[in-house]
Amino acid sequence: MPNGENNIMSEEYSANNIQILEGLEAVRKRPAMYIGTTDAYGLHHLVYEIVDNSVDEALAGHCDNISVTIKEGNSIEVVDNGRGIPVDPHPTYKTSALEVVLTKLHAGGKFDNKSYKVSGGLHGVGISVVNALSAKLSVEVFRDGKIYFQEYKKGNAVAPVKVIGKTNKLGTKILFLPDKEIFEEIEYNFETLSGRLRELAFLNANLKISLFDERESKKAAKNKEHVFQYKGGIVSFVEFLNENKTSITKKPLFFHSRKGDLDIEIAMQYIDTYSETVFTYANNINTREGGTHLIGFRSALTRVLNDQLKKGKFDKNVTQLSGEDVREGLVAVISIKIPDPQFEGQTKMKLGNSDVKWQVESVVNENLGLYFDENPQDVKKIIEKCILSARARIAAKKARDLTRRKSALENDALPGKLSDCTERDASKSELFIVEGDSAGGSAKQGRDRFFQAILPLKGKILNVEKARLDKILSNEEIKTLITAIGTGIGEDEFSIDKARYHKIIIMTDADVDGAHIRTLLLTFFYRHMKKIIDSGFLYIAQPPLYRIKHEKELRYAYSDEERNGIVKKFSGGKVDIQRYKGLGEMNPDQLWETTMDPAKRTMLKVAIDDEIEAESVFSILMGDVVEPRRKFIEENAKNVQNLDL
């Protein structure tokens, strides 16, 4: 037997190698299995797990007030006025039900559909996982006229449940501090939490959710407070989304129906823009990847509008509307409540219940058909918009076909201005999008040709927020960009698997024009290649703002604060400071060393933490309505840094 095989066989593998992780040990050993990650996402997810339990009490009709407080030191307090977690002895474990819920995975009142008809946290791991991943956690339960208290450290009870006072309140208070042994950094973002809590308040009409920030650190929003409560529920949600847009119909259409155990709420409105904005939820969980409820809604919407097209006197050249046509300018919120939701994947991003499709489809067919029959003026406006979309779609298809035929006749289908890399593995390849030939020249000379490609764009690209796809595809710079990336564009053609680079880096000048070009590019990716962002492929380069020279020493600063720190360290007033306004001012070696070298550079990954806020910001900054943009600039002017005047 060869020596290598002999060595392998000599390694003992027996029953002694089999580990059994008791209680919450498994959670601490593999936290990402339960909360996704141990970065900022996972840290904030802990809060959502606790709040979701309180919201489940609201869904069951026992809670109408939830407060979340970020305490000094980044501990979190969540208080609700629900029934309070049971504290009586559990029949199996012979210990307080409170301790069972906090220390046993898959322990909870959500499995028999008696205590909770519907629930977001059906896995029964929420509060126990938070306990396991907290350095310390304490809980107070208000019920039976008493205040019950218990404290934990890293998931283990410090002492049994005890009574610490009397009360006439009902509810639960949980205070926890995430464990620094588990999380990369413990710093809660007020706006991130605010976005999710606002979403929950929209989805649960009349539920009051408050967020307070008591931290005094520089990073915190000192004594900041947000209170969310919406009587209109998801109708208020749609109105919020359309606050800075021009709507086609006067008010959102809303219908609420039941199909067996399924509760369906849909609010929708058409606006005078070219993108689709639809948020879908199942038991308050944001199903970002859609699922059967979205499929049912879209199918019915297309069918009903085509029925209306055939009934009315419209453009005879447009006899059929596609799904893409009927969704242009649509803003909708779909919220279903279901006793036994089936989510695809660990992250609960996609609803999989097959029967939900036809149930939602039936409800939309019935309610939308009835509404359109009773509101002919609204349907006329909507159909006319859909017809314009259909014409644009046909024109865009012709433009794409022409581009393909042209590419097929050329030896190289890639744009001539693209300086491609030699690496063909997309996961190892980078594309730098730069402005102008000057920066493009420096970048081409400074890059590593093996894995870095350079695409210089001439001037500002089209603002896609104000344009349909046919007009977008007639813009030469955008066509060049689409061809270089390789994914295609449009609902029927885009494929993330065809991306030629897994790092697409926007590298613009540190001035007003550079910021504008960066914003236009971000708008394009957000509206037409969002999966590039969702896949983590989009980045923003961070070139230095200053070149600081003292005698023979050369340093670079990326902020005013860093510049001041460097200048302080140099002895004497003889310091040469150069403020970079354009990448073309750097020679290729400097650009490589400061901005392009993977070993030294700093880049920002573009991510969407709050989709609702992102939608609002793009609409305000890039849309047609001027007043909201003026207001936004006035309110945020004080936060501007490095303003180029």
Element (H, E) at 68: strand 65-70
Q: Which residue has the tokens 């200053």?
A: 546
Tell me which residues are annotated as active site.
435, 509, 511, 513
Candidates 523, 532, 424; CA nearest to 478 is: 523
Encode 472-481: b = buried (16+ Cβ within 10 Å), e = exposed.
bbebebbbbb
**Helices 190-203 and 611-622 sit at what angle, rounded to 10 degrees?**
100
The CA angle 280-284-285, to the nearest 5 degrees, is: 70
Locate the DSSP E strands across 283-427.
Answer: 285-286, 330-337, 343-344, 350-351
Residues in contact with 311: Cβ distance below 8 Å, sequence separation at least 6, in sequence order = none
Element (H, E) at 398: helix 376-409
Rounded Cα–Cα distance for residues 471 and 458 (Å)? 18
CB-CB contact of 141 with 174 (8 Å): no
Q: Which residue has the tokens 């309610």?
A: 367
The distance in angstroms from the start CA to the end CA of the chain is: 77
Residues in contact with 17: Cβ distance below 8 Å, sequence separation at least 6, in sequence order = none
CB-CB contact of 579 with 511 (8 Å): no
603-608: long-range pairs with CB below 8 Å, 24+:
603/505, 603/539, 603/540, 603/541, 603/542, 604/539, 604/540, 604/542, 605/536, 605/538, 605/539, 606/522, 606/525, 606/533, 606/538, 606/539, 606/540, 607/533, 607/536, 608/526, 608/533, 608/534
Main-chain dihedrals φ then ψ at residue 10, nearest 5 degrees: -75, -15
> Three-state DSSP class for 268?
strand
Please report, for residues 176, 204, 430, 606, the alpha-carbon distance to residue 221 in angstroms, rounded to integers and kept in the order given: 20, 26, 36, 23
Candidates 130, 112, 132, 131; CA nearest to 122 is: 112
Rounded Cα–Cα distance for residues 122 and 111 (Å)? 7
